[in-house]
């Protein structure tokens, strides 16, 4: 009989296979400039993965910033992930992969109440860390607050697991980038293969070996100011301590003609030109406070 660790290892391996197959089938590579992550670190995001408008169901996100790992992240229904990967394994005559997928199918089966989860959306990802690849999956309803809880769970009162925490920060940044790139005005720019100079420079800068398509995500402060002026947004003067930004989708009935519209309220740098930091204080559990 298989022990729990063996089952977890095989499920994790199966998720890695799903990521690879989904990326080969639907993949779009997004190159994210340092300026984007600098600004997004000072922004809150209101949407969950499921509410976000993905440019593709499979994204290979590569960051210029060294604060984040590269991540392959995909969204689909449980049965779509399993069926597509099963068909690929069947085509390759990979019986081991099919065995692992069967185990994952059991794990992804009905919940404790017997409610089938096959048609629910799930997010699966692969993160490249210095220690190797990290695989994971999470419900599509996860947003910033739940991801922050996950990051806090990995804070050890006797130390700090930097790799794990940075991995969760990378997942959160991926959520922010997906929402940022969904705003039409700031949509990613495709790097055309016929422009060999730009194409090769981008691949070298972001260490891309193979890609079906390359899209670059950039932050344009001047364009953002023009965008705000066009929308008659109230101008904000200089702020000594800056201001945290927000990525939002308008859901309220108040926005009659703008429901579902994505907007960015950009962060404002402080008097020294630095973006404010979003700090989450992890409190010591009450049972350990004594």
| Digit-coded pLDDT (tens) for 109-126 | 776 667 667 788 999 999
Q: Tokens at residue 213, please?
A: 């398509």
**Neighbouring residues of 172: CB distance < 8 A, sequence distance ≥ 6:** 144, 147, 148, 151
Three-class SS state of 32:
strand
What pLDDT sits at residue 52?
Answer: 93
Please, where are the H alpha helices in 114-206?
144-153, 162-181, 196-206
Greatest alpha-carbon span in the chain: 66
What pLDDT sits at residue 71?
Answer: 95
DSSP 41-57: TTEEE---TTTS--SSS
* Mean confidence (pLDDT) of the chain: 80
Q: Of 211, 212, 223, give the one whose Cα is nearest residue 187.
A: 223
Query: Over the stretch 224-274, which tens digit does the pLDDT of each residue have?
Result: 555 555 544 455 555 677 888 889 887 666 656 666 778 888 888 887 888
Question: What is the distance between the alpha carbons of residues 190 and 183, in angstroms, rounded to a whole number?
Answer: 15
What pLDDT sits at residue 223?
Answer: 55
Residue 198 vs residue 176, higher pLDDT: 176
Question: What is the distance between the alpha carbons of residues 26 and 17, in angstroms, rounded to a whole number?
Answer: 14
Residue 281 confidence class, pLDDT cut points 50, 70, 90: low
Q: Taking residues 130-137, what's their average pLDDT?
A: 86
Residue 18 vs residue 165, higher pLDDT: 18
Judged on CB neighbours under 10 Å (0-12, 13-18, 19+), 6 is: exposed
What pLDDT sits at residue 117?
Answer: 76
């Amino acid at each position: 009989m298989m022990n729990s660790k063996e089952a977890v290892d095989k499920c994790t391996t199966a998720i890695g296979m799903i990521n690879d197959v989904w990326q080969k089938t639907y993949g779009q590579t997004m190159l994210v400039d340092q300026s984007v992550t600098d600004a997004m670190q000072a922004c809150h995001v209101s949407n969950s993965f499921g509410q976000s408008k993905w440019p593709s169901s499979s994204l290979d996100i590569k960051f210029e910033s060294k604060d984040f790992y590269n991540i392959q992240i995909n969204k689909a229904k449980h049965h779509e992930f399993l069926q597509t990967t099963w068909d690929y394994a069947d085509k390759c005559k990979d019986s081991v992969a099919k065995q692992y997928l069967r185990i994952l199918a059991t794990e992804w089966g009905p919940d404790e109440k017997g409610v089938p989860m096959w048609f629910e959306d799930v997010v699966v990802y692969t993160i490249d860390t210095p220690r190797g690849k990290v695989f994971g999956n999470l419900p599509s309803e996860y947003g910033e607050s739940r991801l922050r809880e996950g990051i806090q769970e990995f804070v050890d009162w006797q130390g700090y697991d930097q790799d794990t925490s940075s991995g969760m920060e990378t997942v959160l940044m991926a959520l922010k980038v997906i929402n940022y790139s969904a705003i039409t005005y700031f949509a990613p720019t495709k790097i055309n293969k016929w422009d060999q100079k730009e194409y090769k420079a981008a691949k070298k800068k972001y260490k891309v070996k193979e890609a079906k398509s390359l899209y670059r995500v950039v932050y344009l402060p001047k364009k953002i100011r023009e965008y705000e002026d066009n929308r008659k947004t109230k101008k904000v003067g200089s702020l000594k301590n800056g201001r945290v930004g927000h990525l939002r989708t308008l859901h309220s009935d108040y926005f009659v003609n703008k429901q579902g519209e994505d907007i960015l309220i950009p962060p404002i740098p402080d008097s020294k030109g630095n973006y404010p930091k979003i700090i989450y204080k992890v409190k010591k559990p009450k049972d350990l406070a004594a």
